[in-house]
Structure formats: C-alpha cells, structure tokens
Amino acid sequence: MGTSPRNFDSLPEECVSTILSFTSPPDACRFSMVSTALRSASDSDMLWLTFLPSDYLSILSRSLTPLVLDFSSRKSLFFALSRPLLLDGGNMSFKLDKFSGKKSYILSARELFIEWSTDPMYWSWRSMPESRFKEVAELRTVSWLEIEGKIRSKDLTENTLYGSYLIMRVSHRGYGLDSVPCEVTVTVGNRVVKSGKAYLWQKDEKKGNKENSLDGVPVPSRREDDDNGWMEIEIGEFFSSSEGDDDEEIKMKVMEIGYHLKGGLIVEGIEVRPKQV
C-alpha cells in the first residue's frame, strides 16, 4: 500500500528527511512541491548534508574562489558545488553530479606528467580563452608521447564506476597523430584494470563515420555540453570500491612511442567522472 502526503505530514521532519536521504537530489526537489511539511524536510540541512560528500569542507578549503560559494544552506551549497569549482591554485576542477551527488575532477595539463613538457623545443605552454584553466600544453614535435594523470581513490565517491578521459584538440598544424594508435591504460594500485588503444586524431573526421572509431579503434569525440570545441578520448574505466581502508593511487596513461614525429596536440587535462550505468 502506498504512502500519501498526509502520512508524511504526520511524521517528524527528521524522520521524513531520513527517508528522503535514500532518494536522490532531483527526487528531493520534486518532493518539496508536494506539501508544506515535505518542503520543509526536503530543504533541510539534515537532508542535504547526506547528499554532500563527507570531505566537502576539505574540498572547500582548496577552492580558488571560496567567497563565491553560497553557504546559506546545505542545499544551496550542493548546487553551488554542482558547477565547476577550481581547486589547488586553479590546477584542478571539481564538481558534483547534480543527479547523484557523485564527485568528478578534471586534472589540468599542469597536474599531469607529460614527457618532455619542460623542454620548449617539444612542448609549449600557453593560455587559451576556450580553456577553464590558466594554461594548456601544446605539442610542437616529439617522437615519444607519454601523458599520465594520477588521483587517489579516497578523493572519489566510493562504490562508483568511473571513466577517465583525455581532454584535447588538434591545432591547424597537427600532423602524425593519426599514423598509429596510442596505448591507453588505467592502473589501480599495482593492477592494470584497463588497457586498449585509441587514436588521438581522425583527420577530416572521416565524414560519415558515426561510430567514433577507425577500424574498431576509438577516435576522439566531441564532449557533451561543451561549446568550446574540446574533444575527448576515453582512457579507461575503473571501479572505486569501499572495501577496507586502502587509499590506492589510480594512474591513467596515454602513450605512443612509434618513433615517428607528431605535433599539434593540445592537452587541457584528464577528466575522471562517474559513468552512467
């Protein structure tokens, strides 16, 4: 037998908030329109604290612009954190998924290990108005391409399937990036959990190709809700477990050592975000 709004109205607000904590942020917002009692419970700090990550205060302490966040309620703070927030001096972007409350990050190019990136003969660092970060890395020319990002499992939402993605584009002077595919790997601790291949460029975008692949090998695709022209290629996926107290290092690597010259790749960063399942 179902529960009517009148049944909820007879319950203490704390009890209703506890019940709503087993739903989702969008569901809580919908319940607020049912009755006055449900509105009070669905807007309560007690409820929205359950949707915020347990380390939200630590995240806030790393914000580049903490004063722009709305602290008037935990609900308003949740939705403030569902928009991109720059952390760690502007070298990392963080946000909560507004539907699930799960955490996602973008590691800027400055947060990555990029082989030869300190040598201006091979890589240049410059600003781009289309980027969320102060600098991006542009490949001049190399024969050995290696890009790696790292994140700790404790920084992610537990019991969640994550995907990692290289955010990139190719300049007008791009060359050699479609000759052979790169090796892409994800390592959790000392275990390789995902490995595969991917092209970093599909020249002329091979008109008519709807599969985002070339001969079965993935190619870059346009990012959803991104009007700035950035592309992405999936490096791999992994599961963030809650078993034990282990805090494992997760490494995401793109590597191509075909010993032929290539250039024109522009790297904004690596995103780690929950996958829709």
In percent, the amount of the chain with pLDDT more than 90 equals 64
Report yes or no on 97 lying in a domain. Answer: no
Domain span at 60 = 5-89
The residue ranking higher by pLDDT, 186 or 225, is 186
Q: Is 95 domain-assigned?
A: no
158 shares a domain with 75: no
94 falls within a domain: no
Does residue 254 form part of some domain?
yes
Question: Cα(first)–Cα(last) distance of the chain, in Å?
Answer: 30
Residue 73 lies in a domain: yes
User: Could you tell me if 246 and 122 are in contact, meaning their C-beta atoms sit under 8 angstroms apart?
Assistant: no
Same domain, 118 and 36: no
Q: State which of 56, 89, 122 marks the end of a domain.
A: 89
* pLDDT band with cut points at 50, 70 and 90 for residue 207: very low
Q: Of 37, 54, 89, at which residue does a domain stop?
A: 89
**Co-location of 21 and 130 in the same domain:** no
- 179 and 246 assigned to the same domain: yes
In this structure, are residues 70 and 76 in contact, taking their beta carbons and an 8 Å threshold? yes
For position 162, what pLDDT does the model report? 98
133 and 74 fall within a common domain: no
Strand partners, 49: none
Based on the fold, state whether residues 68 and 136 are members of the same structural domain: no
What pTM did the predictor assign?
0.89
69 and 127 inside one domain: no
Query: Is 266 found in the same domain as 154?
Result: yes
CATH of the domain at 132: 2.60.120.260
**Same domain flag for 114 and 176:** yes
Using CA atoms, how far apart are residues 186 and 69, in angstroms rounded to an integer?
34
CB atoms within 10 A of CB 154: 12
The answer to whether residues 129 and 233 belong to one domain is yes
What are the pLDDT digits (tens) for 54-91? Answer: 999 999 999 988 766 767 899 999 999 999 999 999 99
pLDDT on residue 208: 45
Residue 110 shares a structural domain with residue 239: yes
Collapsed DSSP state (helix, strand, coil) of residue 144? coil
Q: What is the pLDDT of residues 11-60, one digit of tens each?
A: 666 776 677 777 888 888 887 777 676 777 788 888 889 999 999 999 99
Judged on CB neighbours under 10 Å (0-12, 13-18, 19+), 82 is: middle
Domain count, the chain: 2
Domain end marker among 64, 89, 114: 89
Residue at 23 is within a domain: yes
Does an H or E element contain 187, and which?
A: strand 182-188
Do 151 and 255 lie in one domain? The reply is yes
